[in-house]
Structure 1
Amino acid sequence: MKKIKHIKILAFAAIFTMLFAGCEKESETKVIKLGHSLDISHPVHQAMIFMGERVMEKSNGSLKIDIYPNQQLGSERECLELLQIGSLGMTKVSTGVMENFAPGLRVFGLPFLFRDRDHRFEILEGNIGEDFLDSSLDKRLKGLTFYDAGSRSFYTKKPVETPEDLKGLKLRVMESQTAINMVKNLGGSPTPIAWGELYTALQQGIVDGAENNLPSFHLSRHYEVCKYFLVDEHTALPDMLVIGTPVWNKLSDDEKKWLKEAAMESSEHQKKLWRDAELEALAKIKEAGVQVLQANKDEFRDMVQPMYDEFKEDADMKKIIEEIQEAK
């Protein structure tokens, strides 16, 4: 009886190892496991599918990416921790969560940092962006590329048009100190909640609203609970495709090249998918009865100025902010 029990334990351990190994071999094909929290219809997931196809083409079938969406392998934070120990190969994470591992990324959480979309991509795809991708190597995490996550705005159960209207509202934020401080500066009550738990939290009144981009608001079906979407576009936090260095360091030079190239190509592909998704989301939420309100951005910008003053007390952060703001 003890022998049978021992065999069962060994079998379970073997299955667990097969599922969560960050990088493994299937005959002559090396497989990297990628886990993320998004729905399969999300533009970022579609871009990852595209990346997987490009990796297979570039490697002539010798390198493959298996993708596990919908938090099958954990939340963004949990996936990052699995990357660090090599139990998972890759993940997609918001830079708002990533700032817990690379403090310099806090700058992306500053409201109204970018002038427009073109300015944002000039930064992300230039030297500053490349430095940010490598800023968490000491935490065993390496960024491969950024994905467009659009601009974030507030959505609530009751109409909100000014910072005054946010006062006293419990608003869901990511596990990001910068996001928490932003909502506090605007008079709201920030409440960190995992993305996968937010629909229920809104439904049960644990929070009165949240903030995110249009496609996420649409695909999460949060519009069923929150009937007001305020276009204030306070932040433009990009998503980041990350690989754990325990897996990255096991790749050959060719495999690293194929993966990096495919990641960059998927980023370009995702930009187009994202633009289409934003237009579709806007049309769909309006059809569902959501009132889309336009904010006076200057009112919101004035309220968060203390965040800039605080950030610039750090000489390194002050330099980064100025470099971003001065970029043509």
Structure 2
Amino acid sequence: MKKIRIIAMVALLATTIAFTGCGNKTATDNTDNTQPEGVADPIKIVAAHNQTNTDSPYQTGLLEFEKVAEANGVFDVEVHAGTIGTSEAELVEKLKLGAADVVLVSPGFMTKTGIKEIDLFSLLYLFDSYDHWEKVVDGDVGKAMSDIIYNKSNGEFKVLGYWTAAVRHYYGKTPLNSIEDVKGLKIRTQTSGAVSEYWTSLGAIPTAVAWGELYQGLQQGIVDAAENAYPYLVPMEHHKTTNGKYLTETGHDYTTRLLLVNAKKFDKMTDDQKAELMKAAEASVDAERTAIYNEEESYKQQLIDDGGVVNEIDRTPFIEAAIPLQDKIAKELGLEELLQAIRDAK
């Protein structure tokens, strides 16, 4: 009897352990990455910009995009800061191939994809303030341009929102005191399109230098000058180079950047998913713009503290020189009405 009692107790213990083991497995299953039955897995979104500086406003914007897009479990966002491409050409190619889903690009590059109309936003002295710029890109003109991009790309690209890369100014080996001082200067800028045409019309020599090589280009005298905004030139320390010390606030470009999504992927989403993605895009627009606006003054002060020299200039001659070119390019693009709408929004 004693032997039988011991065997029964061992059997009971074994049964208890078995049930306990099953209970632990169930708990583990409930805490893995599998979605509950009936709930779709999050949609993977690869979002990228070409700036390697992880403190840049671009990064701020995409991190806000990630935060809002993931809030309700609809999306799983992976943000890349220059890690899948440091050129816009690379990013757009990845967008086409599906290796990236959301990317940031400039109007000047978009023209190389065959969408010439976007060059309208590259025209210098097109905008005279951030208020003017916001009114245009967030209004009917921005909507019209978004439709053009979608249609001209055969449904490949959709604009999720308009970001900015701040206000661009001249900086070089000497300050500008008049429009005549531009003549003969080798200036690093786009070498094709509306930007190049403007600087050429002033007598400058647009010169191609990769952004990552511009510090050396300014230091070694490969170019006499460049043009960019405080939040981008100062972190790269261009103002500490031989040919980058003197900044003249020409304010020639209130820049536009396009947050693009792979439209084919977007079009396959449900209405609720599209709404969630657009909500994240709107949040990213606000975050990126706020970061830019806040950083311009702080980086300007840093430039001055580091020994850089800033001067203002009468922009009137520069603006007047831009108007005929604006008219010419708008006519070539068939966008005279949009140009007039931009001017009327001032």
AA aligned to 2:161 is T
Tell me which residue corresponds to 1:19.
Answer: none
CA–CA distance in 2 between the matches of 1:71 and 1:285? 28
Structure of greater Rg: 2
Q: Does 1:235 align with 2:247?
A: no
Which of 84, 97, 101 is the equivalent residue of 1:89? Answer: 101
Question: Which ranges in structure 2 are unaligned for 5 or more consecutive residues?
Answer: 1-32, 36-40
Contact persistence 2:191–2:206 (CA under 8 A): no
Alignment TM-score, normalising by the size of structure 2: 0.81
Tell me which residue corresponds to 1:205.
Answer: 221
Contact persistence 1:166–1:188 (CA under 8 A): yes
Tell me which residue corresponds to 1:255.
Answer: 273
Tell me which residue corresponds to 1:42.
Answer: 56
Which one is further off, 97-106 or 122-131?
Answer: 97-106
AA aligned to 2:285 is S
User: Residues 303 and 272 from structure 1, CA distance in 2 versus in 1: closer, same or farther, beyond 3 angstroms?
Assistant: same
CA–CA distance in 1 between the matches of 2:109 and 2:191? 6
Question: Which ranges in structure 1 are unaligned for 5 or more consecutive residues?
Answer: 1-24
Tell me which residue corresponds to 1:12.
Answer: none
Tell me which residue corresponds to 1:193.
Answer: 209
CA–CA distance in 2 between the matches of 1:151 and 1:108? 13
Q: CA deviation at 1:152?
A: 1.2
Q: CA deviation at 1:71?
A: 5.2
Contact persistence 1:54–1:262 (CA under 8 A): yes
Contact persistence 1:96–1:109 (CA under 8 A): yes
User: Residues 52 and 176 from structure 1, CA distance in 2 versus in 1: closer, same or farther, beyond 3 angstroms?
Assistant: farther
CA–CA distance in 2 between the matches of 1:81 and 1:54? 26
CA–CA distance in 2 between the matches of 1:105 and 1:249? 22
Contact persistence 2:128–2:254 (CA under 8 A): no
CA–CA distance in 2 between the matches of 1:294 and 1:98? 32
CA–CA distance in 2 between the matches of 1:206 and 1:80? 29
CA–CA distance in 1 between the matches of 2:180 and 2:146? 37
Q: Does 1:308 align with 2:326?
A: yes
The structure 1 segments of at least 4 consecutive aligned residues displaced by more than 4 Å after TM superposition are none
CA–CA distance in 2 between the matches of 1:232 and 1:223? 16
Tell me which residue corresponds to 2:317.
Answer: 299
Which of 127, 131, 134 is the equivalent residue of 2:140? Answer: 127
CA–CA distance in 1 between the matches of 2:328 and 2:248? 27
User: Residues 70 and 161 from structure 1, CA distance in 2 versus in 1: closer, same or farther, beyond 3 angstroms?
Assistant: farther
Contact persistence 1:84–1:245 (CA under 8 A): no
Alignment TM-score, normalising by the size of structure 1: 0.85
Percent identity (aligned) = 27
CA–CA distance in 2 between the matches of 1:62 and 1:302? 50
Structure 2 counterpart SS, 1:313 = helix
Structure 2 counterpart SS, 1:161 = coil
Q: CA deviation at 1:200?
A: 2.8
Tell me which residue corresponds to 1:245.
Answer: 263
AA aligned to 2:165 is A
Q: CA deviation at 1:176?
A: 4.6
Tell me which residue corresponds to 2:339.
Answer: 321
How do residues 150-169 of structure 1 correspond to structure 2 at under 5 angstroms?
A: 150-169=166-185
CA–CA distance in 2 between the matches of 1:247 and 1:197? 35
Which one is further off, 291-300 or 101-110?
Answer: 101-110
User: Residues 196 and 251 from structure 1, CA distance in 2 versus in 1: closer, same or farther, beyond 3 angstroms?
Assistant: farther
CA–CA distance in 2 between the matches of 1:75 and 1:144? 20
Give the paired residue count.
302
User: Residues 192 and 26 from structure 1, CA distance in 2 versus in 1: closer, same or farther, beyond 3 angstroms?
Assistant: farther
Q: CA deviation at 1:312?
A: 4.5
Q: CA deviation at 1:165?
A: 1.4
CA–CA distance in 1 between the matches of 2:193 and 2:133? 22
Tell me which residue corresponds to 1:180.
Answer: 196
Tell me which residue corresponds to 2:3.
Answer: none
